[in-house]
Structure 1
Amino acid sequence: MDPLSYKIPLKSLDTIYLQDQESKVRYWFYGIVILLGLTLFLPWTQNIKARGDITSLYQEQRPQNINSPIPGKIVRWAVKEGDFVKKGDTILQISEIKEDYLDPNLVSRTQQQVEAKKGAINFYKGKAATSVSQMEALSSAQTFKISQLENKLGQLNNKLTGEQAELEAITNEFNLTKDQYERQQKMFEQGLVSQTQLQQRNTTFQNALAKKIAAENKIAQTRQEMLIVKIEQNGVQQEYTEKISKAEGDRLQSLSNIASGQGEMAKLENQVANYTIRNGMYVILAPQDGQIVQANKAGIGEILKDGERITVIVPTRVNYAVEMYVRPVDLPLVSTGQKVRFMFDGFPAIIFSGWPQNSYGTFGGKVVAFEHTISTNGMFRVLVAEDATDRPWPQQLKLGTGAQGIALLKDVPLWYELWRNINGFPPDYYTLKEPGSKGSGKEK
């Protein structure tokens, strides 16, 4: 018997080579092809990836410089770098170096100048009031004096009227005696009367003429007196007008001094307020709760310039946000309120960018704002805040921590996303619907 023809049953040979069994490779092939085909129809969330850093949502919560409000010399440090301070805690104390403010009693001395200026203003006010009283007295005296002259002028006018009536009577008598004398003279020439009678008539005529001349002189004198009274009246008017004008000038001068004094007093009061406020600037206080870092001055006695940075305070309480930069081509796809997923540096995460719901270790955010001008790095800045409806951000986050952002876009089939990337097409443009609107939250 041929030893080779003898068949020895080998169990291991049957187990390994499966020579007598049907192959299942094609079943596996068909299954894998069907699985891949079904996978192509799975939903895929389009996204934009961008790198960013942790910042604060509010400007006052970002690290801020503590500057010296005035030039001075460091007298004492109350904190050291790394210390945490509360709002209003003393950071350091400085002293004055300008010669204009070295006087320790500068505020009180300036206040004395204010009080002295107030006294001068009160004196000028009294002088102005006195000038007003003087003007009133002069006006009353002027009125009284003019009234006296007007009364005297009225009396002279009455006197003139009487004298004119008397002159008229004397003139009538003169005319009568004149006629009688002329007739007597004619009769004397005819020899009808004696020379004695003619002389008597002449005497009567001369007496009447003398009375008429006397009456006319009296009227002329009265008129002269009236003219003198009118001149005196004008003189009184001019005299008192000059005195009143002088008093008015004194009053206006006093008012001018008052206004000037009030301006100087306001300036002095401003200096008092400035000096008082400046005295409060010698102690630099913490503007808010935070940590002191990056001290710019190291020792006692160093000189600080006006506005020079002393140190930096990092606020303790911060509403964190992420500032990330997107390419100009992706900017139209970013809108306010858009969802963003983040991976923070130092926090482990498993990312499936197309299936954010299956990712682990990511944190949610919402786009708060984006700038409408390009940054110096050639991209647009987008500010993303924490999503209150999602997983809270870690408490260990610090300002400046790096973050990888994934802005979520439209949900599309996986085959469409592969086709889009193979052809180099951008993600689909879409807009968010307003809350409460019908349909899905995104539309193409």
Structure 2
Amino acid sequence: MAKLSSMGLHDQLIEELAAQSNQELINIKGSRILGRIMLICLVLFIIILFLPWRQTIPGRGTVTALRPEDRPQTVQNQIGGRIERWAVREGQEVKKGDTILVISETSQSYFDPELPERLDEQLEAKRGSEVAATQKMEATDAQIRALTNGLRFQLSAAENKVQQSENYVKIDEADLIAIQNFYETSKARLARYEAGYKNGLFSLTDIETRRLKLQEDNAKVIGQQNKLNNSKQALLNAKIDLDNIRAKYQESLAKAQSDMSSALSSRASVRGEIAKLRNDISNISIRRGLYVVRAPQSGFVVKTLKAGIGENIKEGESIATLQPKNPQVAAELYVNAMDVPLILDNSNVRLQFEGWPSVQFSGWPSVAVGTFAGQVWAIDRVSSNGGKYRLLIKPAHPLPKNDEPWPIQLRQGSGVYGRIILRSVPLWYEIWRQLNGFPPSLEKDPSEKKAEEKKG
């Protein structure tokens, strides 16, 4: 019995030692497996750190239109009036020129329904005044021509008379000189006769005859002087008549020219009034065409800003909001000022629209699902409210391979999230940049540099 019990203890001890050895072997094997797993994870982590990472600039915004004429606009009435009838309802599609609203006149100046006919009558009256003024101008012009022709003949006659008087004066002057010479000769002869009478050569009768002759010659001198004075007086009168003719012509011509100026002024005034009446008639015609407010372009009536019938609206007041049909959609994103210098005018963008499920990886845009390709169209030169800058994004053209075009169901004003694609860098560099708060790199990819070198 003692032998059997000792054998049992020995077997139990061997079994315990074997179990303990197996447990130690299992523990050593588990540690090795864990070490290998950690080593593999470390290698994978190091490999992941060197994977390419695409730098991006995030931005949020809304869907808009690329062209200003495609964006929602307000329809305004050009004249004030009272609402008579609405021709559309909210959400209705309209074409360019369709009636949106009909208004009636509220200004007292345009209440008369026969106002255009009244203005036409005034216009005809003014045209008659213009004809009368033109006829007066023609008559005055004829009067001026007649005065000019009459003056020509009168001046010619007066100038001839002056010339004739000048000739008479010259003749009388010559006759006076001749008579004076005869008188002087008679005086000399008388002196000689008196000297001869004293010497006994001539008789008293001869002396008396010579004295009578001298008196006759003196009378002739006096008469010729008077005649010369009369000729000079006639010349002066002829010159005075010539001056009077010229003065009278100037007076008559000035009066005729004054009448011409008055007629010209009257015609100009009438023409101005005619132009004003024509303008009023045209304005009335155009104003009556503005009683109907029409759609400026095809689109949809989004919202009416006025309500009711009989409500007065002011000139230039907005009455409805119109969304143009088939707009060329775009996206406007707002980015931080620090990132703007890194964005080019042709940078690529990946967009996520609200309402479209998508999965986007920041560093691997190529594996994103549900995103759409875009391209920067414009960058604002000044910042918007909040210090951010607005980017206008248009659909990418040409469309990248395996990409879908933007959804046609996009509505302006819906939210959009986008990432502007920059250069590719290692993942470790991106982690280091993010930890230090540095901006994305400005350097270009080697592939982009090679492409530019090939183009150059």
Give 1:119-268 correspondences, 5 Å limit. 119-182=128-191, 198-268=207-277
C-alpha distance in structure 1 between counterparts of 2:450 and 2:175, whole Å: 118
Secondary structure of the corresponding residue to residue 104 of structure 1: coil
The answer as to 2:52 corresponding to 1:43 is yes
The answer as to 2:447 corresponding to 1:438 is no
C-alpha distance in structure 2 between counterparts of 1:20 and 1:183, whole Å: 195
Contact 2:165 2:238 in 1 (8 A): no
Q: Which amino acid aligns with 1:252?
A: S
Question: For residues 411 and 172 of structure 1, do their structure 2 counterparts lie closer, same or farther at Cα, with a shift above 3 Å needed?
Answer: closer
Q: Which 10-residue stretch deviates more, 413-422 or 186-195? A: 186-195
C-alpha distance in structure 2 between counterparts of 1:53 and 1:173, whole Å: 130
Listed one character per residue, the Cα deviations across residues 78-135 of structure 1 (whole Å, up to 9, x for unaligned) are 1111110011111111111111222233334334444443443343333334333322
Contact 1:333 1:430 in 2 (8 A): no
Q: Which amino acid aligns with 1:89?
A: D
The answer as to 2:414 corresponding to 1:405 is no
1:303 equivalent among 306, 309, 312: 312
Contact 1:335 1:431 in 2 (8 A): no
Secondary structure of the corresponding residue to residue 410 of structure 2: coil
C-alpha distance in structure 1 between counterparts of 2:38 and 2:145, whole Å: 124
The answer as to 2:440 corresponding to 1:427 is yes
The answer as to 2:106 corresponding to 1:97 is yes
Give the CA deviation at 1:202.
Answer: 4.0
Listed one character per residue, the Cα deviations across residues 335-375 of structure 1 (whole Å, up to 9, x for unaligned) are 21111111111111122121111111000111111223222
C-alpha distance in structure 2 between counterparts of 1:332 and 1:217, whole Å: 115
Question: For residues 41 and 301 of structure 1, do their structure 2 counterparts lie closer, same or farther at Cα, with a shift above 3 Å needed?
Answer: same
Give the aligned partner of residue 82 of structure 1: 91
Q: Which 10-residue stretch deviates more, 99-108 or 38-47? A: 99-108
C-alpha distance in structure 2 between counterparts of 1:237 and 1:419, whole Å: 109
> What is the identity percentage for the equivalent residue pairs of Structure 1 and Structure 2?
39
Give the CA deviation at 1:286.
Answer: 0.4
Q: Which amino acid aligns with 1:37?
A: I
Give the aligned partner of residue 10 of structure 1: none
Question: For residues 201 and 426 of structure 1, do their structure 2 counterparts lie closer, same or farther at Cα, with a shift above 3 Å needed?
Answer: closer
C-alpha distance in structure 1 between counterparts of 2:365 and 2:196, whole Å: 163
Give the aligned partner of residue 371 of structure 1: 380
Give the CA deviation at 1:290.
Answer: 0.9
Q: Which amino acid aligns with 1:408?
A: I
Q: Which amino acid aligns with 1:428?
A: S
C-alpha distance in structure 2 between counterparts of 1:195 and 1:20, whole Å: 204
Unaligned runs of 5+ in 1: 6-17
Give 1:315-334 correspondences, 5 Å limit. 315-334=324-343
Give the CA deviation at 1:305.
Answer: 0.5
Secondary structure of the corresponding residue to residue 294 of structure 1: strand
Q: Which 10-residue stretch deviates more, 126-135 or 284-293? A: 126-135
Listed one character per residue, the Cα deviations across residues 12-65 of structure 1 (whole Å, up to 9, x for unaligned) are xxxxxx979965555444433333332222211111222111011111111100
Contact 2:423 2:444 in 1 (8 A): no
Figure out how many residues of one structure are paired with residues of the other and give that number: 427
Give the CA deviation at 1:252.
Answer: 2.6
Q: Which 10-residue stretch deviates more, 91-100 or 182-191? A: 182-191
Question: For residues 208 and 430 of structure 1, do their structure 2 counterparts lie closer, same or farther at Cα, with a shift above 3 Å needed?
Answer: same
Give the CA deviation at 1:301.
Answer: 1.3
Give the CA deviation at 1:393.
Answer: 0.3
Q: Which 10-residue stretch deviates more, 318-327 or 154-163? A: 154-163
1:348 equivalent among 354, 357, 363: 357
Give the aligned partner of residue 366 of structure 2: 357
Contact 1:131 1:251 in 2 (8 A): yes
Q: Which amino acid aligns with 1:333?
A: L
Q: Which amino acid aligns with 1:406?
A: R
The answer as to 2:305 corresponding to 1:290 is no
Listed one character per residue, the Cα deviations across residues 386-417 of structure 1 (whole Å, up to 9, x for unaligned) are 11233310011001111111121221122222
Give the CA deviation at 1:429.
Answer: 2.9
Computed over aligned residues only, the root mean square deviation of the Cα atoms, in angstroms, reads 3.1
Listed one character per residue, the Cα deviations across residues 177-208 of structure 1 (whole Å, up to 9, x for unaligned) are 44455555566677776655554444433333
Give the aligned partner of residue 314 of structure 1: 323
Contact 1:364 1:386 in 2 (8 A): yes
Give the aligned partner of residue 9 of structure 1: none
Give the aligned partner of residue 270 of structure 1: 279
Give the CA deviation at 1:243.
Answer: 1.5
C-alpha distance in structure 2 between counterparts of 1:184 and 1:35, whole Å: 173
Give the aligned partner of residue 431 of structure 2: 418
Unaligned runs of 5+ in 2: 13-24
Give the aligned partner of residue 11 of structure 1: none
C-alpha distance in structure 2 between counterparts of 1:204 and 1:20, whole Å: 192
Question: For residues 435 and 311 of structure 1, do their structure 2 counterparts lie closer, same or farther at Cα, with a shift above 3 Å needed?
Answer: farther
Question: For residues 268 and 46 of structure 1, do their structure 2 counterparts lie closer, same or farther at Cα, with a shift above 3 Å needed?
Answer: same
Give the CA deviation at 1:253.
Answer: 2.9
C-alpha distance in structure 2 between counterparts of 1:430 and 1:204, whole Å: 140
C-alpha distance in structure 1 between counterparts of 2:35 and 2:188, whole Å: 182
Give the CA deviation at 1:295.
Answer: 0.8
Q: Which 10-residue stretch deviates more, 111-120 or 380-389? A: 111-120
Give the CA deviation at 1:312.
Answer: 0.5
Q: Which 10-residue stretch deviates more, 105-114 or 81-90? A: 105-114
Q: Which amino acid aligns with 1:336?
A: D
C-alpha distance in structure 2 between counterparts of 1:430 and 1:157, whole Å: 110
Q: Which amino acid aligns with 1:237?
A: R
